[in-house]
Amino acid sequence: SHYVTDEMLTDPDQRVTCKPHPQHTISLNYNRQWIRKFKAAGIAPFIYYYNCHALPATIERLWPGAAFRDERGRPLLKWYTEPSVYGPPGSPFAKNMIRQMDVMLQAYPELPGFFVDNFGIEMVSFAHDDGVTTIHGRPGYDLNRNHQGIGPAVFEKAHQAGRMIMINKLATIESARGADMVLTEGMSLESVRAHALACVYRPVFPLGMRVGGGTDHIERCCQNLLLVGGTPEWGFYRTDRDTMKAYRPLTDAMIGKRWVLDHPDPLTVPPGYEGQIFRIDPNAAHGDDVVVALADLGRSWKQGRLTEGLTVKVRLGEAPQLKTATWLTVERSAGQPLPCKLTLGGTELTIALPPAGAAGILRLSK
């Protein structure tokens, strides 16, 4: 890929070749055209931005000596032939990346946001010193210093211009600072869970997620995403459209979710079910609601098997303000949520559920 130059801003029809796709040339106007097409179709396109690596020739030409090196002095490659680049605040590489955000905002005034890759790669350069990192008695530079230093400075510029930031994976919770949402690409269920907690106030989007090796793995993914407040990927539709259509009304309840961390024991779920409780951000649809996700990880919605007489208990300071409750089970998700009976005892609510199946969403509203 290419950095945006002043010449491109002056002549937005200037065409360049992207190395991974040499059969095509692109220009600023070419990209602007596709941004408008996507937006007209109701899709918010994000442009790929902010690599922590570059071609060796680019590094030596623009930032000599900035390439990451291992203990033997060999280049530390982050992407094929491209080494990572030393970039703490104030360094030549950091200044370049910050300037790139300025020119990208000029180049693409209609762009909704940026996709920022490779935040989950951990690497230490022995050619540089961050003043903290030491391995085998030798000083080093932790790549997360790039994320935690340049990242927020760049993201703030995007936010001031009304753009959003999605980052790909995390190595540390600190490196999420300034990000609006997080992609978890190609991760195990355990890693998705860890990222979901790090994304406590952010949407999390697994990509390439797989749970189990059976034919029901799309349903197991959807159930586990409910339990961590995640959003399913479009690829689920290609594999099992019916299951995705059944679960989509449930996973949509995660929009604006916030983990409940201010009560030591806020939720009791029925035997055989796993559950999680969330608050919904006041600025989201259904703002200030409380949402409880339930899933029976050994059951499938395709069985059509429902259980009656189940109850859920919710303990929150705002429990007396929660006046209505509805239940939507995945087996009947094409219909309307059903009302539930509420019983209040102090700050504990007991909710009698309508028939429940493989998964469901309990919504409490003021």
Stretches in the chain below the pLDDT threshold 70 = 1
Check residue 126 and give its pLDDT.
98
Instruction: Report helix angle 92-107 to 144-160, nearest 10.
Output: 30
Residues 191, 283: one domain? no
Residues 235, 282: one domain? no
Cα separation of 49 and 70, whole Å? 26
Q: What is the DSSP string of 285-326?
A: TTTT-EEEEEE-TT--GGG---B-S-EEEEE-TTGGG--EEE
Q: Residue 49: which domain range?
A: 6-253
Residues 215, 316: one domain? no
**Is 136 inside a domain boundary?**
yes
Check residue 30 and give its pLDDT.
95
Residues 186, 297: one domain? no
**Is 95 inside a domain boundary?**
yes
Residues 249, 262: one domain? no
Q: Quick one: which H or E segment has residue 244? A: helix 241-251
Check residue 175 and give its pLDDT.
84
**Is 131 inside a domain boundary?**
yes
Residues 170, 70: one domain? yes
Residues 230, 114: one domain? yes
Residues 167, 277: one domain? no
**Is 158 inside a domain boundary?**
yes
User: Which pair of tokens denotes residue 365?
Assistant: 């509203």
**Is 134 inside a domain boundary?**
yes
The domain boundary residue, chosen from 225, 253, 281:
253
Q: Helix, strand or coil for residue 231?
A: coil
**Is 1 inside a domain boundary?**
no
The CATH number that applies at residue 318 is 2.60.40.1180
Domains identified in the chain, total number: 2
Check residue 339 and give its pLDDT.
98
Check residue 1 and give its pLDDT.
61
**Is 219 inside a domain boundary?**
yes
Q: Which residues pair with residue 125 across a beta bridge?
A: 141
Q: What is the DSSP string of 121-176?
A: ---EETT---SS-EETTEE-EETHHHHHHHHHHHHHHHHHTT-EEEEE--SSGGGG
Residues 58, 86: one domain? yes
Residues 129, 149: one domain? yes
Cα separation of 349 and 116, whole Å? 42
Residues 201, 262: one domain? no
The domain boundary residue, chosen from 228, 253, 278:
253
Check residue 203 and give its pLDDT.
92
Residues 161, 269: one domain? no
User: Which pair of tokens denotes residue 26?
Assistant: 């692109």
The domain boundary residue, chosen from 227, 253, 279:
253
The CATH number that applies at residue 91 is 3.20.20.80
**Is 106 inside a domain boundary?**
yes
Region class of 192: left (phi > 0), else alpha (psi between -120 and 50), else beta: alpha
